[in-house]
Amino acid sequence: MAGNRLALITGASAGIGAEFARQYAAKGWDVALTARRLDRLDGLAREIEEKYKVSAMTISQDLARDGAADTILHELKEAGRHVDALVNNAGYGLPGTFFNTSWKEQADFIRVLYTVPIELTHKLLPGMAERDFGRIINVASLAGYAPGSSGHTLYASVKAGLIKFSESVHAEAETAGHDIHCTALCPGFTWTEFHDVNGTREMTNESPEWMWMEAAPVVKAGLEGVARGQPVVVPGMVNKGVATLTRILPEPVGRAIMKKQGKRFRKVD
């Protein structure tokens, strides 16, 4: 197992993050799993080691805390491991509007979903370049293509930022001639705990089933896309159609649609 490549996955305790861990392990990769819930991580690690016969390391860390990224990387260094693939998956929704949430809530949100993914990428890229191999997947969202909505104010802007960031890192690595691929994975509605945690499950359950995907095909699309060197991956035909529509619709029309439909899946109180 010591000779296996290692994938570091944030937000690995459930949902898309846990599925990334399983699919990387199925490919023979060792995995380093980080999230806040150590009990969930340890359970997943045991499952992975028993089923796939690879090494699974767990690191309990709250990415909203100062120094979280350095702590994770220090623990990996102490274990004598370097990162070959980074999956920036940790995230959540922050219900409410910009008016009725505190700055600390917003600042923590920006840190977990945007600052730390960029920090981890920046600190791991030199080693990837030195070894001439690296795979980075930033879990963005279809929301990054859509107009902003009332409620969950920074979600779309952060995800749009991750898309542009991933495109730029990928272009820089390609220009430098490195075997480093950076991909923004942009899922739409996915069956995970995400909507339970942010209190929108009842609202999103009103959406038709054909709009939803399971985590497994979402992750599979991300892994295949980063292997091919795609800077952006939108999984599923429905999501691809929505992403295309956001590009061709006149902006006032797009905003009007979001204003009308946003309240179906955005909690503003």
Of 155, 164, 240, 259, the active-site residue reads 155
Cα gap 90→193, rounded to integer Å: 12
Q: Which residues pair with 31 in a beta bridge?
A: 7, 56
Cα gap 253→138, rounded to integer Å: 29
The position carrying tokens 């107009």 is 147
Cα gap 204→262, rounded to integer Å: 11
CB 179 within 8 A of CB 134: yes
Interacting residues of 150 by C-beta distance below 8 A, sequence separation 6+: 97, 259, 262, 263, 266, 268
User: Can 159 be counted among the known catalytic residues?
Assistant: yes
Please choose, from the candidates 86, 188, 190, the residue with its C-alpha nearest in 3D space to the C-alpha of residue 143.
188
Residue 63, both tokens: 């990415």
Q: Between the CA of residue 9 and those of 33, 82, 147, 152, 257, what are the distances in Å?
A: 5, 13, 29, 24, 35
- The DSSP symbol for 107 reads H
Please choose, from the candidates 117, 87, 68, 79, the residue with its C-alpha nearest in 3D space to the C-alpha of residue 9.
87
Interacting residues of 168 by C-beta distance below 8 A, sequence separation 6+: none
Instruction: Give the three-state DSSP class for 244.
Output: helix
Of 52, 114, 159, 267, the active-site residue reads 159
Active site (catalytic) residues: 155, 159
